[in-house]
Structure 1
Amino acid sequence: MSFKSIIQDMKGELGSISRKGFDVKFSYGMRSRSHRVVQDSSVRIDALKQSCWANMPPELLRDVLMRIEATEDTWPPRKNVVACAGVCRSWREIMKEIVKSPEFSGKLTFPISLKQPGSRDSVLQCYIKRNRSNQTYYLYLGLNQVSTDDGKFLLAARKCRRPTCTDYIISLNSEDVSKGSSTYVGKLRSNFLGTKFTVYDAQPPNAGARVTKCRSTRLVNMKQVSPRFPAGNYPVSHIAYELNVLGSSRGPRRMQCVMDAIPARAIEPGGVAPTQTEFIHGSLDSFPSIPFFRSKSTHLESFPSALGEGLLVLRNKAPRWHEQLQCWCLNFNGRVTVASVKNFQLVASPENGVAGQEHENVILQFGKVGKDVFTMDYQYPISAFQAFAICLSSFDTKIACE
């Protein structure tokens, strides 16, 4: 049997297992069309124990898995890579070693990839669809550059208005967007005027983050239950929109983002951005997915000023006035086609001390391409989760800025 035949047979068997239920299962698996999320502990599948792959030598198994990872480099075929990681613990450990983070591979594979910095060498092209009826936003990975009709579902966010602020709850599951869900990954919170926002991660942004002691409780059948995993609100970014300098006229917005979890030196040659390696979770299925009724947020012990601690600061790239078109313009390289006050490009601020190419490099760009459809392109050092949260801030009403 040739090596190519071995790989084809394994893909075929993985495909049949995938159709039985775990084609995207890995910790928090993702499924594009149905948007369902399958928990790792929800289904125990041991189909390969009875197959010819059960006693494959480790060296040959690693070689086969490496070839599958190399050939299935785009979605939807890349679901086979996720399926391999869901077979058993040993397969999972091998796949975690083989599959590189988006920073080096330029690919979004496992759900944790959404919390990791984007590619250094290319731009990850995504798009956001807005559902006005239920105030929900969906993030997709673009599968081609010419259409936003189909894509790989990544994240969902739901707008929740409160008396003094607005929250955008972000989840891995489009059908269960709530803070009490086991697929909750973070949130965006605005002030009353919609001029200042804070992005919160549900888990520490890096291994060295220190947290204050807190009590977080859920009420289950009117009884108090303590969670088994360290859920909380960890600030990872602060976004501020400045007062419109053009007064009452409808001009471009000015925004600044302080990335609390990313040092300014990350964008320098040889710089490193913090990278999460796995979701922190326990026996999630032992608790029902109900919202928090009472909780005290978990915060980092202290957050010094951005300049004092050398945090990365992003500013929107200033547009230029086009005399012939009589409008403000930015070069989106064809990725934005509809004029909107929401459109923006973020670059490293001069406050970071960078100059030249690092300062001109667009880290995140967002813009309108159709009714309720927007493109979102990002790259290192921010993650898809951070980029999505920043773009959500552009949707919120800004009383003092327009």
Structure 2
Amino acid sequence: MPFKSIIQDMKGEMGSISGRGFDVKFISFSMRSRSHRAVVHDGPAPSPPVDALKQSCWANMPPELLRDVLMRIEASQSSWPYRKNVVICAAVCRNWREITKEIVKAPEVSGRLTFPISLKQPGPRNFPLQCFIRRFGATQTYHLYLGLTEALSDAGKFLLAARRCRHPTYTDYIISLDANNISKGSTTYIGKLRSNFLGTKFTVHDGMPLHAGAMVTKSHSSRFSSKQVSPSRLASGNYPVVHIAYDVNVMGPRGPRRMQCTMDCIPSSAMEPGGAAPTPADLPLPLQSIPLSSKSSHAGNASSGAPPGTDKGKLVLQNKSPRWHEQLQCWCLNFRGRVTVASVKNFQLVASTDDGRGRQEEDDDDVLLQFGKVGKDLFTMDFRYPLSAFQAFAICLSSFDTKISCE
């Protein structure tokens, strides 16, 4: 039977069970099918609930044949929106889900985003993932999309959303997997970015620990106290993973910004040949049940990486210093056509050298993250290993914030 027919049959079967068209919202449906309210009946006792994912007629396929089918489907669906068929395969039953998770590789290896966890995993080593950010000034929200084509005219694949929350002494950017539910108390919360009063220092907090012995910050009021948590405890919290600092700009808005990012969760050895960055294998249970709508995220699965080492310190990123262009009378960087509008927000990040200075060679392959303006409220964001989509998005959000002492 052709793979296309198999996928269509699965869609029809799951759609008849749920009573509506089945799409990438399979995780939400799965969790609803397991939660049943107790109802008092006057007649005979109700029959036990049926788990649709276990009763699927496709659940009893021979494992060898099933693995071969899923491997071919995964290899043939290389990009979105067709890649949603891979996600649909993981919704057929538990056996299909486990095998699909084994087959789908992390972005570092495959260069693809499939399941939500890949947003927390390092990007590809050999090329950057091209994304873009849309700013909505009326609602103070920001949406991150994966570019489906080279042009920015496409709608893109929704990945993450952030909402700006101003407070008297600091500003928070709440980051969520759902554009319609951006709050720290929601099940789609995955982290936040917090600034100081001057907007010169930022801390990226992850909602889940990336390694054993991660330190969780209790709250803003008790920001000087932290506690060590068990690696098995994956409740949502505030785990500092990145510290961002902007230097005071004596030239004001006329001069380029200078920034430095200290990656608490990534060792400097990750940039060496054979080095590895922490790679979470799965999201906590509350996040696994998030609805994956057409405005949702996608990710991959891989084995968990080793905890960051302390022998060689943490990875430090610095912005690449622009050069003054005499004819254009402005500061310039080579964005390879990905940035078209001059802005103080534009930057490129490279790994800092051992002497504390950023690499200034002309080799653009050293750029790990670049961010720049292409329209009034449209910005490009290209990132690669060892940064994840979540970390790159949070770093770019810091560029939007007002910096009193810098400009």
2 CA distance for matches of 1:320 and 1:104?
34
2 CA distance for matches of 1:43 and 1:76?
26
2 CA distance for matches of 1:214 and 1:330?
40
1:186 aligns with 2:191: yes
Q: Which runs of 5+ in 2 are unaligned?
A: 35-50, 220-232, 290-307
Shift of 1:22: 4.7
Distance 1:121 1:25, change over 3 A: farther
Distance 1:210 1:387, change over 3 A: closer
Shift of 1:21: 5.2
Q: Larger relative contact order (C-alpha < 8 A, sep ≥ 6)?
A: 2
Aligned pair partner of 1:118 in 99, 115, 123:
123
Q: Percent identity?
A: 63
Q: Which moved more, 1:348-357 or 1:309-318?
A: 348-357
Q: TM-score, normalised by structure 1?
A: 0.82
Q: State the match for 1:296 in structure 2.
A: none
Aligned pair partner of 1:84 in 79, 89, 98:
89
1:338 aligns with 2:341: yes
Aligned pair partner of 1:262 in 251, 266, 272:
266
Q: State the match for 2:52 in structure 1.
A: 46
Q: State the match for 1:279 in structure 2.
A: 283
Give secondary structure in 2 for the equivalent of 1:399.
coil
1 CA distance for matches of 2:390 and 2:12?
32
1:239 aligns with 2:253: no
Q: State the match for 2:44 in structure 1.
A: none
Aligned pair partner of 1:367 in 351, 369, 372:
372
Give secondary structure in 1 for the equivalent of 2:245.
strand
Letter in 2 for 1:342: K
Question: Does the 8 A contact of 1:168 with 1:188 survive in 2?
Answer: yes
Map residues 53-202 of structure 1 onto 2, 5 A cutoff.
53-202=58-207
Q: Over the residues paired in the alignment, what is the CA RMSD in angstroms?
A: 2.8
Shift of 1:42: 2.6
Give secondary structure in 2 for the equivalent of 1:42.
helix
Runs of 4+ in structure 1 over 3 Å off: 14-22, 47-51, 210-215, 282-285, 306-309, 351-360
Distance 1:357 1:39, change over 3 A: farther
Letter in 2 for 1:379: R
Question: Does the 8 A contact of 1:48 with 1:54 survive in 2?
Answer: yes
Distance 1:50 1:119, change over 3 A: closer
Number of aligned positions between the proteins: 355
CA shift digits 1:47-79 (9 cap, x unpaired): 78454x343211001100000000011001101
1 CA distance for matches of 2:56 and 2:96?
16
Shift of 1:13: 1.9
Q: TM-score, normalised by structure 2?
A: 0.81
Q: Which moved more, 1:384-393 or 1:84-93?
A: 84-93
Give secondary structure in 1 for the equivalent of 2:285.
coil
Distance 1:93 1:47, change over 3 A: closer
1:319 aligns with 2:322: yes
Question: Does the 8 A contact of 1:23 with 1:83 survive in 2?
Answer: yes
Shift of 1:8: 2.2
2 CA distance for matches of 1:373 and 1:148?
11
Distance 1:212 1:254, change over 3 A: closer
Question: Does the 8 A contact of 2:260 with 2:318 survive in 1?
Answer: yes
Give secondary structure in 1 for the equivalent of 2:255.
coil
Distance 1:63 1:254, change over 3 A: same
Give secondary structure in 2 for the equivalent of 1:127.
strand
Letter in 2 for 1:41: M
Shift of 1:127: 0.3
Shift of 1:309: 5.3
Q: Which moved more, 1:81-90 or 1:123-132?
A: 81-90
1 CA distance for matches of 2:384 and 2:216?
32
